[in-house]
């Protein structure tokens, strides 16, 4: 069962291929490319965060510049405490698999997520279990998104590598998988590989 502390938001829009979730706390967004899950252990759905926005709750009310006379950005939020209630952070996740019990299937689930389902950031153990297979890469590479798919694939692999004991081995294995999937698209492959060099090495 996911931990309450890992709960990052709630589904407010859902389709077969993706869902949109609203964060409980302003700016408390899961990172780009992180693995999130919806539902419980009997029917769990996995998503990769591919896009996030923070904007006014009401479409007709745009934020205005407020900090001219403030010493810091933090002061703006302190002197206008209502801002926390008038702005909201949302993120979109691409559905990349689902699970039931121990099994994880890296293909689309039979039904979309339910509205108001809780969204959890997968803990390292779950990320490790999920990333034992790279089948999800095929789903990612064949999607049309408002962000570059290469950026997303690279961000996902970087995020997943954080959960592995041996990041290098994991990234090399992912690179080999990508080389097969993108055998005829060298420039795309290069764009991804160039972005998954471990930041500490």
**Interface positions with another protein (CB under 8 A):** 58, 61, 64, 77-86
Q: Please, what is the minimum distance in Å from the beta carbon of residue 118 to another protein?
A: 23
Which of 83, 139 has the CB closer to another protein? 83
Bridge partners (DSSP) of residue 43 are 40
- Nearest C-alpha neighbor of 87 from the set 29, 146, 34, 15: 29
CB of 86: closest distance to another protein in angstroms?
A: 8
Q: E strands, 57-188, where?
A: 87-100, 103-105, 118-121
Nearer to another protein, 59 or 81 (CB): 81
> Environment class of residue 141 by beta-carbon count within 10 Å: exposed (0-12), middle (13-18) or buried (19+)?
middle
Burial of 131: CB neighbours in 10 Å, binned 0-12, 13-18, 19+? buried
> What is the token pair recorded at 106?
């890296």
CB closer to another protein, 62 vs 110: 62
Q: Which is nearer to another protein, 1 or 65 (CB)?
A: 65
Q: Between residues 6 and 22, which has the closer beta carbon with respect to another protein?
A: 22
Which DSSP state fits 5?
G
In the complex with another protein, which residue's Cβ is closer, 80 or 168? 80
Least distance (Å) from another protein to the CB of residue 106? Answer: 42
In the complex, least distance from residue 72 CB atom to another protein, rounded to whole angstroms: 14
CB of 58 to another protein, least distance (A): 8
- Here the contacts of 197-201 (C-beta below 8 Å, separation 24 or greater) are 198/158, 198/161, 198/167, 198/168, 198/171, 199/158, 201/168
Q: How far is the CB of 66 from another protein (least distance, A)?
A: 9
């Amino acid at each position: 069962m996911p931990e309450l502390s890992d709960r990052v938001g709630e589904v407010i829009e859902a389709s077969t291929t993706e869902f949109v979730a609203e964060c409980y706390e302003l700016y408390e967004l899961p990172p780009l490319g992180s693995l999130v899950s919806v539902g419980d252990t009997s029917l769990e759905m996995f998503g990769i965060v591919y896009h996030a926005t923070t904007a006014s709750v009401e479409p007709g009310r745009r934020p205005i510049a407020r900090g001219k006379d403030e010493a810091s950005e933090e002061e703006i939020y302190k002197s206008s405490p209502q801002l926390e209630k008038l702005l909201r952070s949302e993120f979109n996740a691409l559905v990349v698999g689902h699970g039931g019990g121990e099994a994880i299937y890296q293909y689309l689930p039979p039904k979309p997520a339910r509205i108001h389902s809780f969204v959890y950031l997968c803990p390292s153990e779950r990320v490790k279990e999920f990333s034992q297979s790279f089948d999800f890469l095929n789903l990612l590479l064949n999607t049309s998104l408002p962000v570059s798919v290469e950026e997303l694939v690279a961000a996902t692999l970087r995020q997943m590598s954080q959960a592995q004991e041996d990041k290098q081995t994991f990234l090399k294995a992912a690179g080999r998988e990508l080389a097969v999937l993108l055998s005829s698209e060298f420039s795309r492959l290069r764009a991804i590989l160039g972005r998954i060099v471990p930041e500490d090495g």
